[in-house]
Amino acid sequence: MSSCCCPEKPAESSAARCPQSGSIGKAVDRQTIKALLIELALRRLAAGEYRFCPDPDCDVVYFDGNGSLFATQDLRVPVWQKLAFGTRPVCYCFGESEASIRAEIEASGQSDAVERIRGHIAAGRCACEIRNPRGACCLGDVTAAVNRVESALAIRTATRAGANPGTADVQ
């Protein structure tokens, strides 16, 4: 039963699933796709609703319900969800990447990437809906990236300390 506060969810359509991975895709605005496709791929863009495939093991980035799809090589930018952890771009508006976050943490002990991006958002400077291949705000992705990098650095530090007891820096 549907009500004003709890509407029924529409039945999941097979068109919402990536034809290659089967992952559920998130709808992406056409403007995002047009901005990010290379020229040859843009020539193949057909009418319809496109979705973003989040599966990191799938080369498909955008697909529609009619069999049209675009892969990583069809985009002007690398898609962080499709790349291996380490140096991936995370913020397409302000150039934050796992590499820049790692360098900042190594130099100062922390990353202020999330706060910097929040400042840019508050100032009306972001354009995630166009620049981010997912077509959505990257702030959650940046927060997760900072946490992943911090964890990786902690594991690396712990491993080094365990391999060479007594050589770990005491702070």
Place of tokens 């007594």: 166
Model pTM score: 0.80
Are 86 and 156 in contact by the 8 Å Cβ rule? The answer is no
Q: What is the mean pLDDT of residues 37-45?
A: 98
Share of the chain above pLDDT 70, in %: 85
Q: Which of 13-17, 82-86, 97-101 has the lowest mean pLDDT?
A: 13-17
Residue partners of 72: CB distance under 8 A and separation at least 6: 59, 61, 78, 79, 82
Domains of the chain with bracketed CATH: 14-74 (2.20.25.270), 80-163 (1.10.10)
* pLDDT tops 90 at residue 1: no
**Among candidate residues 130, 66, 142, the one with its CA nearest the CA of residue 101:** 142
Name 51's bridge partners.
Answer: 27, 63
> What would the pLDDT profile of 47-90 be if each residue is shown by its tens digit?
999 999 999 999 999 999 999 999 999 999 999 999 999 989 99
